[in-house]
Amino acid sequence: MSGYDVIVVGARCAGAGTALLLARQGRRVLLLDRAAFPKDTLSTLYIQLPGVAALADWGLLDRLRATGCPPLERVSYRAAGITVTGSSRPVRGQRVSYAPRRHVLDQLLVDAAVAAGAEFRDATTVGDLLFTDGRVTGVRCRTAGGRWVSERAALVVGADGMRSQVARRAGAEVLTSAPPKSCAYYAFWDLPSDDALTMTHADGVLVGAAGTNGATIVTCYLRQREFARARQRPLEVYLETVREHDGELYERLRSAEPPGRLYGTGDQRNFIRRAAGPGWALVGDAAVHKDSITAWGISDAFLQAQLLAQTLASGTAQDRALAEYATTLRRVAQGGYEATLAAADLTLGDDELAHLRLLADHPELAELYFSVASGAAAPQEYRAALRAHPLPAAAG
């Protein structure tokens, strides 16, 4: 077939990561995105350690550090006056997290994909897929100049996010789904960054702060049922939430310039789609979308890019390799999906507080807890460790 080996639709963490790895395998890759790069996208930016390790494996971590993105060496988790401070166990030697601005991270990935030989066209929107005998064989896209062109490839990868056109046009089945659980608001503040990700939890609320390129990002998560109220007066609700739950952070915000803009969304869908079929595959949010509260989206996108690239390189015929990719992804995605749905309930009751007291008293258990949260340890390991520690009685 003439054209490309692979067309990747969407050029952020899933798509640019996939294009990079496939181009490094020597494939002819066309990478398309409708956005004009570099451009930000909705995200609270925190990369969990497995994602940091992937960047290191790809030879990109030093470049990320060189952008001035501050290291986040610890997590400080607080609720009802209890503070648990610690960090995850390392992943392939990486112990420090980062929360880079997305116009920085995504451009860095695109640059690496192009350096590996991928062709990148931004401001190019894929409007439809091309089919031959029921198999996806290319895309129809509108160029930056407004012209419609067809491009052919043996494989089209949809890395085009939660509202994926590739998934829709290919007929990717939704295998499981759940209603949105939380909503999120965040802003960038001109404040010096701390070396920790801080999170303050109350029932129905999570307030977080982390250093990013040249700013501190401050985020509030609320339950989905609060979204109708919050969207009426978002800045007031955001500031009230910070004031009520993290007074110290609120005082720092008061001393800073008001942020230029508040970002927010209540459209945090939860689903897993079948991730491949004849001539097509999905990676990142297009394949698995879950509430952003666990901050696993970027890291999972990298791991899926790796899984797809490895499976395609295994020597198996493409159709079988794609079927294997879809089956493996379905299996590995389930645990994180369920854990995220549970976290997005934002429940903080007596049981959760007793649990936090236990963590505050046992640093080794706290490290294991933060390791599960980062994706560096399996929940079963944590559950086994918990069995050796009877929960202290709830206060009051």
Ligand X SMILES: Cc1cc2nc3c(=O)[nH]c(=O)nc-3n(C[C@H](O)[C@H](O)[C@H](O)COP(=O)(O)OP(=O)(O)OC[C@H]3O[C@@H](n4cnc5c(N)ncnc54)[C@H](O)[C@@H]3O)c2cc1C
Q: Which residues bind ligand X (CB under 6 A)?
A: 9-15, 32-35, 41-47, 125-126, 159-161, 165, 184, 265, 284-286, 292, 295-299, 301
Place of tokens 């350690």: 49
- At 210, give phi and psi (nearest 5°): -150, 150
CB of 165 to ligand X, least distance (A): 4
247 with 163: CB under 8 angstroms?
A: no
CB of 232 to ligand X, least distance (A): 19
**Secondary structure class of 26 (helix, strand, coil):** coil
42 vs 256, beta carbon nearer ligand X: 42
82 vs 98, beta carbon nearer ligand X: 98
210 vs 356, beta carbon nearer ligand X: 210
Contact residues for 238 (Cβ-Cβ < 8 A; gap 6+): 185, 187, 220, 230, 262, 264
308 vs 353, beta carbon nearer ligand X: 308
The secondary structure of residue 117, as a DSSP letter, is: T
CB of 101 to ligand X, least distance (A): 12
336 vs 347: CA distance, rounded Å? 18
CB of 2 to ligand X, least distance (A): 22
122 vs 385, beta carbon nearer ligand X: 122
60 vs 353, beta carbon nearer ligand X: 60
193 with 285: CB under 8 angstroms?
A: no
Contact residues for 94 (Cβ-Cβ < 8 A; gap 6+): 49, 52, 53, 56, 61
- The counts of H helices and E strands in the chain are 13, 18
CB of 361 to ligand X, least distance (A): 29
130 residue type, one letter: L
CB of 166 to ligand X, least distance (A): 8
Largest CA distance in the chain: 72
Does residue 125 come out as left (phi exceeding 0), alpha (psi in the -120 to 50 range) or beta? beta
CA angle 311, 116, 328 (to 5 degrees): 15
CB of 282 to ligand X, least distance (A): 9
222 vs 239, beta carbon nearer ligand X: 222
CB of 357 to ligand X, least distance (A): 27
Does residue 52 come out as left (phi exceeding 0), alpha (psi in the -120 to 50 range) or beta? alpha
Closest CA to 304 of 375, 223, 233, 394: 375
94 vs 125, beta carbon nearer ligand X: 125
Closest CA to 48 of 3, 1, 95: 95
The secondary structure of residue 53, as a DSSP letter, is: H
4 vs 355, beta carbon nearer ligand X: 4
CB of 29 to ligand X, least distance (A): 15
